[in-house]
């Protein structure tokens, strides 16, 4: 009985070993077949690189069958307003965020005719309050030797005495984008008949993020008689060029690659319909921003309050400013055709600044007086109270850290003994 059971166990073990060998041979044959197929289909050439060199892009042709041309030229094909403008990515490192960039670059469209009058007056008055002021003229402009101190930039390939200055305006934007976009946070495209309060404008701009896509100024829609010619969409608003068009650095970075394309599209439209040309440079820059970046000029009430334009044609002299206190808050005034008015306006606004400083001085005097009456006498030495609290602040008194007694300074302060 025991021999029979051992015989059955040995037979089962032998059958198991045989089946295991057969299974191993079958799996090995399948693996070798797969490897042979892989060797058979192995490519003869090395695989393509992960990042191939981009092929050179063909120049875009403007024709009526091109959808991009239709979107730019014709309002029925233009993109609709979504309310979500494009935004740039913010810097990821502090060294990128806090680079030493200046605040404001002002690019003024001028010509040889007005360099000795308007440009000279602007440079000697409010031009000293901004980080950079440059007058852009055509390549055929001749700058007199007595005006060599003016910061004049000649635009190659742009005529000087052509009006409206469509090509000059786009060339100014392109020049600022190519040469100064990494050096300044804000850019202004302005005419040579504007007065600008640089200090007040810088205070306003410091409250906004220069990395955003911002187009700031006095929003316009065009006159009623120009509605058919301009062919703007209902939601499209452009910043008027007279009071100044202000762009953030983020806007300049995003708009720069499209400037040449937008100018070619406008010239192509004028060749198709010369009776209704698009020759308003501020409208076309605004159209370019709207069609390519889907951003409109700010329509806030501050735009109308800060950026003043005289539509009715009355002269805005200093007497008018004194009679209307609400006009004292304006930042830009347009138009100022007489250079003498520029000096008068500059004197007026300097007087306002001095008045504001005088009021601040009086507030500080009252605060110091109340502080001296409430501060305990044991906290400061008597000599400090006698020299700083008994005498009111005046124009002949200047106080700094040197006026504090020597024994109150940190350097000579005696340390208390520890017990």
Lowest pLDDT segment from 225-234, 277-286, 308-317: 308-317
Per-residue model confidence as pLDDT tens digits over 283-301: 999 999 999 999 999 888 7
Q: Is 333 helix (H, G, I), strand (E, B) or coil?
A: strand
Interval 28-45 mean pLDDT: 47
* Predicted confidence (pLDDT) at residue 72 exceeds the cutoff of 50: yes
User: What pLDDT band is residue 96 in, cutting at 50, 70 and 90?
Assistant: low
Per-residue model confidence as pLDDT tens digits over 245-270: 999 999 999 999 999 999 988 888 88
Residues in the chain: 419
Interval 202-223 mean pLDDT: 89
Interval 319-329 mean pLDDT: 74
Lowest pLDDT segment from 139-143, 387-391, 406-410: 406-410
Q: How far is CA 336 from CA 115, 119, 194, 200, 243, in A?
A: 15, 12, 6, 19, 11
Burial class (CB in 10 A: 0-12, 13-18, 19+), 318: middle
User: What pLDDT band is residue 111 in, cutting at 50, 70 and 90?
Assistant: very high
Domains of the chain with bracketed CATH: 67-86+98-311 (3.90.550.50)
pTM score above 0.85: no
**Residue 105 CB contacts under 8 Å (≥ 6 apart), including other chains:** 130, 131, 132, 134, 176, 180, 183, 184, 186, 187, 188
* Predicted confidence (pLDDT) at residue 107 exceeds the cutoff of 90: yes
Q: Strands, E, within 319-392: which ranges?
A: 332-334
Interval 333-354 mean pLDDT: 89
308 contacts 243 by C-beta, under 8 angstroms:
yes
Q: What is the pLDDT of residue 40?
A: 40
Beta strand 184-191 pairing with 245-248: antiparallel
- The string of DSSP letters for 127-145 reads GGGSSEEEEEEETT----G
- For residue 317, the tally of other CB atoms under 10 A from its CB is 13
Lowest pLDDT segment from 21-25, 81-85, 145-149, 194-198: 81-85
């Amino acid at each position: 009985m025991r021999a029979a059971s051992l015989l059955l166990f040995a037979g089962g073990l032998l059958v198991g070993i045989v089946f295991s060998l057969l299974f191993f041979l079958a799996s090995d044959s399948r693996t070798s077949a797969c490897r042979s197929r892989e060797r058979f289909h192995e490519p003869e050439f090395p695989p393509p690189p992960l990042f191939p060199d981009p092929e050179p892009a063909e120049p875009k042709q403007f024709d009526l069958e091109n959808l991009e041309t239709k979107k730019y030229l014709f309002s029925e094909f233009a993109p609709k307003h979504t309310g979500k403008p494009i935004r740039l990515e913010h810097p990821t490192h502090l060294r990128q965020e806090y680079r030493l960039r200046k605040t404001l670059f002002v690019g003024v469209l001028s010509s040889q005719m007005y360099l000795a009058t308007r440009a000279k007056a602007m440079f000697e008055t409010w031009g000293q309050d901004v980080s950079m002021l440059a007058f852009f003229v055509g390549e055929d402009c001749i700058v007199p030797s007595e005006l060599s101190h003016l910061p004049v930039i000649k635009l190659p390939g742009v005529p000087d005495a052509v009006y409206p200055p469509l090509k000059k305006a786009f060339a100014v934007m392109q020049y600022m984008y190519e040469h100064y976009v990494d050096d300044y946070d804000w850019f202004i495209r302005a005419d040579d008949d504007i007065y600008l309060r640089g200090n007040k404008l810088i205070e306003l701009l410091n409250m906004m993020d220069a990395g955003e896509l911002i187009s700031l100024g006095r929003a316009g829609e065009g006159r009623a008689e120009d509605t058919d010619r301009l062919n703007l969409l209902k939601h499209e608003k452009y910043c008027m060029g007279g009071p100044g068009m202000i762009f953030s650095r983020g806007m300049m970075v995003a708009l720069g690659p499209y400037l040449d394309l937008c100018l070619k599209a406008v010239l192509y439209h004028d060749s198709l319909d010369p009776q209704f040309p698009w020759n308003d440079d501020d409208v076309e820059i605004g159209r370019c921003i709207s069609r390519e970046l889907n951003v409109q000029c700010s329509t806030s009430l501050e735009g109308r309050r800060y950026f003043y334009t005289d539509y009715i044609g009355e002269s805005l002299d200093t007497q008018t400013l004194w009679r209307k206190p609400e006009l004292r808050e304006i930042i830009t005034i347009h138009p100022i055709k007489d250079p003498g008015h520029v000096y008068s306006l500059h004197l007026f606004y300097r007087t306002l600044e001095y008045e504001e400083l005088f009021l601040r001085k009086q507030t500080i005097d009252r605060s110091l007086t109340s502080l001296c009456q409430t501060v305990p006498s044991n906290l400061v030495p008597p000599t400090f109270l006698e020299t700083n609290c008994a005498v009111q602040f005046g124009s002949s008194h200047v106080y700094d850290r040197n006026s504090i007694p020597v024994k109150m300074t940190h350097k000579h302060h005696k340390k208390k003994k520890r017990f």
